[in-house]
Structure 1
């Protein structure tokens, strides 16, 4: 089952989307928004699945074209976005570029921070940034959406709580990060709003690509129309999503609709490219002592997408242009 939201108010209008991403039907008679559907999942899931089946078999009324340009983020806002860093090749390279090693604890204890969840950009929304000097970067990631998760949940309970899977562009302002981390209190201004893929899908929709709560497909990043990276999300993931959700819920319950991110997809094989500019710059520093690749500028574009074995888009593409923000 694939779910999305059309732009409408702050929380969008819930739609069920066809497997080929071409058509959709409003599901507001079941729940007005995806967040409300997730909060009442026991009731809404079977109804949404029935509507999805009707859509696939041409039995649904009110079918319309699904146009990502008219789509909001599937969850335009939610309670929490907790972003991990589960691909340690990314962490290792960032630290190696400044002559630091990775602490042993990083291999057993997930890295995670609390990102902004008050609003997500739609898949075709421009990324507003006030100043190019901030060091504008994209981060191509996988994200899951949970149901209610009790505090102290086990890994098995965390796995069972995963409701949906999607993609995220976790926008980062790299030149603001060092100053914030130096304060010893984490990210804030350096992590603005992120963008979500046109649809989120239920794990069963992914078939054999979803194994052990890991998504086993390459994630494609295209910068200004040129292929940038295609690391496999199922390779070199130190902590699967069940482990990340369990970590997030260790000292707090998670409300239905919580997003948990994988962190930037990265593989040990550097030949597959990268999922963010920072990593490419770090590899340049390691090789030549200085970065050559610039951060993004106004007018630059990024496309993030995952395809199945037939070359069809699974979640639809995030396609964004960097835009100067005028207050």
Structure 2
């Protein structure tokens, strides 16, 4: 099934069920008001939401309405914790780490898919980072990666917004991301794993994440090859010594192919951020032609299934203003 959260003036919004084609939605108020309620008691609420989802897709829902991604908050607007895998910068170490490295991001105010990017950040090398994220159920401490995958409830797109000018200093300080990471944004819709079919493979998604800047294609990233660690491995590492509560978010971070491998970045693939694109340009031409985001720039991130339809809806963010909808 597919779930979203609409703005209603509250911090946590209103939970809705969205049709498979993302064209219509239905309020879930008769079942649950907020996504966190559902995550806290998944076994009780999920079957009821599934019934509503089936009715919506079959044209039997009582009060459907047109779905508008611009009216959405993040699917889970506030998370108890939001973790992200940290990968080396493009010019950093090539050797893979012995274990995942995770950093804690702000989870108190996650951004919706059409939330504007901060104009005040333009002078700090504002960048995007196309990736994936999962929302978890409760996961016990010391769980294996297989057990961790059983706790995955939902998958969504993520935009790991970063300020590249101050990121190296924060990494060097070793205290984690604070000022270099504005609010992370998520797709308007979160989907259960059954919506992904065989593309979901042992904690990796074998589909392509697409990104575009001002309407021009920037990256076609293999989501499976772009993650050094599977979601099961990331979650198990996060739960090594402490449990994860229901409603935790684990992000892949910007997708990035292994340096020198067959998926190494070229002009049309494996560049899920402007930083990676600039690194690719420098390697091949000695200088960069791509700048960081400027006022009015629009970034679009999407994930399409084998049928060519968007699975989660697109992230469409404009620097300094709210963009017009470009839903296909």
C-alpha separation between the residues in 2 aligned to 1:168 and 1:251?
Answer: 26
**How far apart, in 1, do the equivalents of 2:83 and 2:265 lie?**
27
Q: Of 230, 239, 244, which residue of structure 1 is paired with 2:229?
A: 239
| TM-score (norm: length of structure 2) | 0.92
Matched, 1:299 2:296: yes
- Residues in 2 aligned to 1:34 and 1:323: alpha-carbon distance in whole angstroms: 29
Higher mean displacement: 208-217 or 15-24: 208-217
Aligned position for 1:27: 28
State the distance in 2 between where 1:161 and 1:94 align: 35
Render the CA deviation track for 1:74-115: whole Å, top value 9, x for unaligned.
111111110014xx6xx37331xxxxx3355x1x30121001
More helix by share: 1
- Given the alignment, which residue of 116, 119, 134 partners 1:126? 116
Aligned to 1:226: 216
1:269 matched to 2:261:
no
What does residue 83 of structure 1 align with? 84
Cα offset for 1:285?
Answer: 2.9
Q: CA deviation at 1:245?
A: 0.5
For residue 150 of structure 1, give the secondary structure of its aligned residue in structure 2.
coil
| Greater CA drift, 68-77 or 229-238 | 229-238
Match of 2:275 among 267, 273, 278: 278
Q: Say whether the 8 Å CA contact 2:255–2:270 is kept in structure 1.
A: no
Q: Determine the structure 1 residue equivalent to 2:324.
A: none
State whether residues 22 and 65 of structure 1, in contact with CA within 8 Å, keep that contact through their aligned partners in structure 2: yes
Cα 1:282–1:12 change in 2 (3 A) is same
The alignment partner of 2:171 has SS state of helix
Quote the offset at 1:273 in angstroms.
4.3
Choose the corresponding residue for 1:114, options 104, 112, 129.
104
Aligned position for 1:102: 94
Please list, as runs of the form range in 1=range in 2, the aligned pairs for 1:21-60 lying within 5 A after superposition. Answer: 21-60=22-61
Determine the C-alpha separation between the residues in 2 that align with 1:82 and 1:273. Answer: 22
Distance 1:197 1:48 in 2: 20
Instruction: Give TM-score, length-normalised by structure 1.
Output: 0.92
User: Offset of 1:29 from its aligned partner?
Assistant: 1.9
1:311 equivalent in structure 2: 308
Equivalence for 1:4: 4
Provide the alpha-carbon RMSD of the alignment: 1.5
How far off is 1:291 after superposition? 3.1
**Deviation of the 1:139 alpha carbon:** 0.3
Once the 2 structures are TM-superposed, how far is the Cα of residue 127 of structure 1 from its aligned partner? 1.1
Equivalent pair of 1:94/1:279 in contact (CA under 8 Å): no
Moved over 4 A (4+): none
Quote how far apart the aligned CAs of 1:211 are. 0.9
Structure 2 residue runs of 5 or longer lacking an equivalent are: 258-262, 322-328
| Residue aligned with 1:230, SS | strand
